């Protein structure tokens, strides 16, 4: 299909890539446009193929998936990254999110979950709940240096209501829960979330959680 979501598969194991290709190509709305076995190959492939979604393994020889994610999300922001990890609370998963990935899934995720994850990332959503991200952060953040920019300087452009929404998202609340807490409609909450993302130049809700942890907001 001409309007199919294009996917690049990155993993150093050919059998894994083959299995992923079979799953992705089992549906009409997704199309595999290429494969790569290293981070370096992934960067070259993204530059030439411009895929909508990159399904990225993190543990590869040479340039790993974390560095590849950091570089390609900076150089080709239109291509979104879905990290594949071995364990749910893998510190590599957090590093991938911090590098700019839009979410992560475990390698043994069910077929339907993988396909739904690729579609969600392509649509601009995050493929990991803020609560799951917070669990990762609880493990990883104590070992990371604090951000150098003061929260007041970074968040000063938010209105009072936007700041309330920012904190609520960082605490892992859904739009429905935020609406109940702040006595707002869900559509209004979505609008505020969109403005927060735009003002802080963030890709998705997961990035809000990460930013809040890095600056000690939550």
Tell me what the pLDDT averaged over the chain comes to: 84
Please give the chain's pLDDT, 218 residues, in tens: 458 999 999 999 999 999 999 999 999 999 999 999 999 999 999 999 999 999 999 888 889 899 999 999 999 989 999 988 876 556 677 788 888 888 888 888 889 989 988 998 888 777 765 656 666 666 655 555 555 555 555 677 899 999 999 989 888 788 888 999 999 999 999 999 999 999 998 877 878 888 887 777 76
- Position 152 scores a pLDDT of 55
**Partners of 2 in the β-ladder:** none
Distance CA 118, CA 125 (A): 10
Domains detected in the chain: 5-128 (3.40.50.2300), 147-214 (1.10.10.10)
In order of 31, 90, 91, 153, the CA distances from 86 in angstroms are 24, 7, 10, 37
- Position 140 scores a pLDDT of 58
**Partners of 106 in the β-ladder:** 85
Question: Is this model's pTM higher than 0.75 or not?
Answer: no
- Position 153 scores a pLDDT of 56
- Position 164 scores a pLDDT of 92
In order of 49, 86, 143, the CA distances from 108 in angstroms are 27, 8, 28
Outline where DSSP puts E strands in 44-153: 53-57, 80-85, 103-106
- Position 137 scores a pLDDT of 64
Phi, psi (rounded to 5 degrees) for 81: -115, 135
- Position 133 scores a pLDDT of 64
- Position 212 scores a pLDDT of 83
Side-chain-side CA neighbours of 83 within 13 Å: the count stands at 33
- Position 69 scores a pLDDT of 94
Distance CA 111, CA 117 (A): 10
């Amino acid at each position: 299909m001409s309007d199919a979501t294009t996917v690049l598969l990155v993993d150093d194991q050919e059998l894994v890539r083959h299995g992923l290709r079979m799953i992705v190509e089992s549906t009409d709305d997704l199309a595999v446009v290429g494969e790569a076995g290293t981070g370096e190959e992934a960067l070259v492939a993204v530059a030439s193929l411009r895929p909508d979604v990159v399904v990225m393994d993190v543990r590869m020889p040479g340039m790993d998936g974390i560095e590849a994610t950091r570089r390609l999300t900076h150089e080709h922001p239109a291509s979104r990254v879905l990290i594949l990890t071995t364990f749910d609370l893998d510190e590599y998963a957090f590093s991938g999110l911090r590098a700019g990935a839009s979410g992560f899934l475990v390698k043994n995720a069910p077929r339907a979950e993988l396909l739904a994850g690729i579609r969600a990332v392509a649509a601009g959503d995050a493929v990991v709940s803020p609560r799951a991200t917070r669990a990762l952060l609880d493990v990883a953040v104590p070992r990371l240096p604090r951000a150098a920019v003061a929260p007041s300087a970074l968040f000063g452009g938010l209105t009072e209501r936007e700041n309330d929404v920012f904190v609520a998202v960082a605490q892992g609340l859904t739009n429905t829960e935020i609406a109940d807490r702040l006595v707002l409609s869900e559509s209004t909450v979505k609008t505020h979330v969109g403005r927060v993302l735009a003002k802080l130049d963030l890709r998705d809700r997961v990035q809000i959680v990460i930013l809040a942890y890095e600056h000690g907001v939550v």
